[in-house]
Amino acid sequence: MSTTSHYVDVLVPLAAAGRDVGGVICEIRAAFTDRAAEARGGFDPAIVPLLDIKLAGAGQRALDIVRRLPLPKRRFGLPMRLTRPSSPNTVMTPLDSRQARGLDPRNASSAELGLALSLCLLERGRKPGVFFATGSLEGSDCDSVHPNDGPVGPVEGLSQKFEAVTTWLERHKVGPWGKHATLFVPARTVDGSLTVEAYREEIERARTRAAAIGVELTVTPLRSLAEGARHLGAVKPRFDAKEGMMRAGVLAVLGFVAFMAAALQPVELSPGKIDYFLGPLPTPTVLRASVADEKGAKTFRPVPPCTTKTGLSLVQFEDYVSVNIETSQTMLPKSLFSAVFVVIGEKSQPKIFEPKQALNTEADAGATPIRKVNGRLSFGAAFPVQPPEEEMKIVALSRQLGGFNTNRLDQGVRETFENAPQETRLNAQARWLANIRGSYIEIPFEAIAPDNQRVVRCES
């Protein structure tokens, strides 16, 4: 079985042939592989896996047009080749063949744009990506677009496809697109109208629904494949081995600069699992301490979750909020990574803890120092909840290559607390902390008295 390294996923919205409603998303992966398929049925080995879902014709057309796209001739005054570099094996594979049920020649051509863009990004891009795309690739001049630039032609069923994209985002909520998703469409419809004008209401409805789940959906009309490649930053030709050796010195310097630039970039933070002797627990978990034994030692046990209608955790006084934060993969060792917790509220003064400090406090029920596993860093702590009743947040900040000045951090967040009215105090502190250089994540909860009726109802 072949293995893939660098890859690009394209999500192709397909209208159900012969129907006025509905639509599906077909996931196709373009990847470099160590073992290409053999040519079959007159199709290039790269797109043979698409035969089973009736997209081989669209894949072959996409491949042919990508190979005709012009390459830049000069870069920084240095002459560049006029032909393409030798490439590793490329393969285009459906991630789930069931998604392409019902495909026929009437709708398969609308996948050509997406397949071609994924090949462009694979061959020319700097990093993996994922996007939505629908559109055909016409062979003749269209709207003054040169044939070699791959004119994008109109497709049927755009209403179904907008609905399919929106439903897909709502169903998955979180994906490789992050907070921004892009849908490429033809610039014009089948009757020659501008797509963004003819489908203004559908586009606005799709954006609104995507925004409701925290995704900014951008609908980008394209006149040509070359224009789409520029949008994706896939315009630079890839060097082959000879050129790589000739410019090894320059690349070494650039590689060091890139390493430093990446090291200074914030890493993504996300809630992680909390180690517990009976099994991992989610972040956040509410812990309750037992009565201290004769030596003053306490044990901690998780309590059943009690939440508001919006999912906000209700935490009783004297309980602990335990969290564990995990980073995305980073090349740096944990010794060059800094993190800090800030506990903020509407009424109580903010409190700042470093992971090593939190480990030495009585809040050490589940606290962990910074550790690295499989290229990811994680750190956590448990924080005691005290009166008064209020909405609160545990904010975790992290930074590579440079620590936090906790005195300045404490002074800044306290000044923000004191200067903001109570009704906006919590968000004011959160906004101030979010502007600190580095990465940011917040865990919201509500401190509540044990005799509060909401707790009584929750425990009854």
User: What are the pLDDT digits (tens) for 247-294?
Assistant: 566 667 776 666 666 666 678 899 999 888 788 899 999 998 877 666
256 versus 406: the higher-pLDDT residue is 406
pLDDT confidence tier of residue 234, bands split at 50, 70 and 90: confident
Helix (H, G, I), strand (E, B) or coil at 243: helix
**Residue with more model confidence, 270 or 75:** 270
- 296 near 350, Cβ under 8 Å? no
pLDDT score at 77: 40
Which residues are within 8 A (CB) of 371 and not within 5 positions of it... i.e. 6 or more apart? 334, 377, 378, 379
Q: Which amino acid is at 243?
A: E
Is the model's pLDDT at 224 over the cut of 60? Answer: yes
What's phi and psi for 8, nearest 5 deg?
Answer: -135, 130
Is pLDDT at 18 greater than 60 in this prediction?
Answer: no
Confidence band of 91 (pLDDT split at 50, 70, 90) = confident
Task: Dig out the tokens for 149 from the structure.
Answer: 């630039």
Which pLDDT value is given to residue 81?
40
Instruction: Determine the average pLDDT of the residues in 96-113.
Output: 74
Chain segment 115-132, per-residue pLDDT in tens: 999 888 887 765 656 789
The CB-side HSE value for 179 (13 A sphere, CA atoms) comes to 2
Structure confidence at residue 17 as a pLDDT band (50, 70, 90): low
Question: Over 60: is that where the pLDDT of 367 sits?
Answer: no
Four-residue CA torsion sign, 288, 293, 298, 301 = negative
**4-14 and 130-133 beta bridge pairing:** parallel
Question: According to the model, what pLDDT value does residue 101 have?
Answer: 64
For the entire predicted model, the pTM comes to 0.50
pLDDT at 210 over 60: yes
Query: So what's the pLDDT on residue 362?
Result: 44
**Length, in residues, of the chain:** 460
How high is the pLDDT of residue 97?
A: 72
Helix pair 56-68, 112-124: axis angle to 10 deg: 50
Higher pLDDT, 329 or 218: 218
Residue 4 to residue 10: CA distance in whole angstroms:
16
Q: What is the pLDDT of residue 372?
A: 86
158 to 32, 110, 163, 185, 295: CA distances (angstroms): 31, 10, 9, 9, 71
- Residue 164: which residues within 8 A CB-CB, separation 6 or more? 13, 14, 15, 22, 23, 24, 25
The proportion of the chain whose per-residue pLDDT surpasses 90, expressed as a percent, equals 30
User: Per-residue pLDDT averaged across 321-334, rounded?
Assistant: 86
Contact partners, residue 73, CB within 8 Å, separation at least 6: 79, 80, 82
CA distance 396 to 436: 11
pLDDT at 332 over 80: no
For the cut 70, the answer to whether the pLDDT of residue 37 exceeds it is no
pLDDT greater than 80 at residue 235? no
Of 262 and 136, the one with more pLDDT: 136
Q: What is the mean pLDDT of the chain?
A: 81
Identify whether the C-beta of residue 272 lies closer than 8 Å to the C-beta of residue 324: yes
- Supply the DSSP symbol for 142: B
Q: Output 74 or 412, whichever has higher pLDDT.
A: 412
